[in-house]
A and B are shown apart, each in its own frame.
Chain A
């Protein structure tokens, strides 16, 4: 899907930097690639590997990653209507839910585009998993790809997407509330919680008629 095109190289490079990080945390290349293919959520994977590499236990690593991914439950519910077919098909397609595929497809709005969601999800999954393999196998050779401004690219993406949402006073109230909650909670709550808590700001936009 062409809307995901600029994100494909970014996802591949981020995948490679995850692969490099996983190896430095003594995770094998196979485990790193399997994690990217099954979990498919960058921040949670980085968190889990960082905890393991820092000497934390399995329980701490799993808790950190799953806290970061709790937001995918409200995100999944917001687009649940457009999933059709048998249990297994819905279960499989649901794995393509990530921030970028959801947001690019207009998730949470009446204009949600299922084709964009699936296309972007598959393209980003392939880039992320293949990138991880390259990083995990060639880590020492390519250096750390995260120094290319990729973090700024994703920040700019979310900024552009939030800009496209601000069509009403209600949406503006929800966005302002979400940003304020994230600012307030980032210094005090474990990673993942600020973003999950920001979903409460949807109420601010909802009640204001």
Chain B
């Protein structure tokens, strides 16, 4: 088996297990309220980290590049209470424009 196929199989199998732990083990059973309270704080924590990762990370460096323009445009759209699709389109357009100009 080639290195490529070995990687495809191992990553696919491993990822399937990581994704399935909660849905398969916990299933439809109710969780304790204290745990639910903790999990409800997971979304803001993870999403903020994803903004940093998608907006500023380049490998192991933090950089300011064209994505900053995308984030600024996205933030402006959020302030204007634009729907989520408009935020995404504004982010892509501003990033592409900044990359073209600079």
Contact = CB atoms under 8 A, between A and B. Distances in A.
Contacts of A110: 40
A35 B53 contact: no
Contact of A39 (B3, B11, B20): B11
A151 B52 contact: no
Contact of B84 (A34, A48, A107, A160): A160
Interface in B8-32: 8, 10-12, 14-16, 18-31
Interface residues of A, number: 104
Interface of B: 2-8, 10-12, 14-16, 18-31, 37-57, 59-62, 66-67, 69-71, 73-75, 77-78, 84-85, 87-97, 99
A110 B16 CA distance: 25
Given A58-B6, A159-B51, A160-B78, 20 more contacts: A31-B2, A38-B16, A48-B7, A57-B3, A76-B18, A76-B20, A77-B21, A78-B39, A90-B23, A90-B24, A103-B47, A106-B43, A159-B87, A159-B91, A174-B41, A182-B53, A194-B52, A198-B45, A199-B46, A203-B41
Given A152-B69, A153-B70, A153-B95, A172 B44 contact: yes
Contacts of A142: none
A6 B22 contact: no
Contact of A69 (B14, B22, B31): B14
Contacts of A71: 46
Nearest to B74: A156
Given A35-B8, A162-B47, A199-B45, A83 B23 contact: yes
B45 A34 contact: no
A77 B69 contact: no
B64 to A, nearest CB: 12
A161 to B, nearest CB: 5
A82 B20 CA distance: 13
A200 B48 CA distance: 12
A73 B71 contact: no
Contact of B48 (A52, A148, A178): A178
A133 interface: no
Contact of B94 (A6, A35, A152): A152
Contact of A186 (B44, B62, B93): B62
Contacts of B42: 74-75, 78, 108, 174, 199, 202
